């Protein structure tokens, strides 16, 4: 079994393998996966590490494994009105929903209850299968602290 311990910036070498993972797996720091060649691998990352499509993981024996964001069922809302886009993001975020936000579009993991709320607010929902790359969040990669800081 290949053991993968860290993300690397070594992109000069071509990855030996690929691993396709949905969002719920890419937010875990300990994970057993199957690579595209059928071999098992263990991912052991620092707590709080989030994997994104395109990230490269380095193995203990020098293997390089490219992370691919696997397609999953998503609700997609295309919105031209910036105020409606902001309102939808506010109401979805208020429910702690992971959101992928791009100009004129919001995506979230498909949920019929959330779809109904979005439609009641004036959004049109399309259900599609696609890779999901939600926002990092305000505290991603820095740990979460409620202390008072001078943000200068």
What tens digit of pLDDT does each residue of 19-58 get?
999 999 999 999 999 999 999 999 999 998 999 999 999 9
Confidence bin at 145 (pLDDT 50/70/90):
very low
Do 65 and 37 form a contact (C-beta atoms < 8 A)? Answer: no
CATH of domain 2-69: 2.60.260.20
Say how far apart CA 69 and CA 139 lie, in whole Å: 22
Q: Domain extents for the chain?
A: 2-69, 71-131
Say what the pTM is. 0.82
pLDDT of residue 121: 97
Say how far apart CA 85 and CA 102 lie, in whole Å: 10
Q: Which helix (H) or strand (E) segment is 91 a member of? A: helix 82-93
pLDDT of residue 2: 83
Topology given in CATH for the domain delimited by 71-131: Alpha-Beta Plaits (3.30.70)
């Amino acid at each position: 079994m290949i053991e993968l311990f860290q993300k690397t910036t070594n992109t000069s070498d071509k990855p030996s393998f690929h691993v396709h993972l949905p969002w719920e797996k890419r937010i875990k720091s300990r994970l057993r996966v199957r690579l595209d060649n059928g071999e098992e691998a263990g991912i052991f990352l620092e707590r709080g590490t989030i994997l994104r499509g395109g990230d490269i993981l380095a193995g203990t024996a020098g293997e390089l494994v490219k992370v691919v964001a696997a397609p999953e069922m998503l609700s997609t809302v295309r919105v031209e009105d910036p105020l409606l886009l902001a309102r939808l993001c506010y109401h979805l975020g208020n429910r702690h929903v992971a959101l992928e936000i791009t100009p004129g579009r919001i995506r979230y993991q498909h949920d019929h209850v959330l779809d109904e709320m979005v439609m009641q607010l004036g959004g049109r929902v399309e259900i599609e299968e696609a890779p999901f790359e939600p926002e990092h969040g305000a505290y991603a990669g820095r740990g979460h602290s409620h202390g008072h800081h001078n943000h200068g």
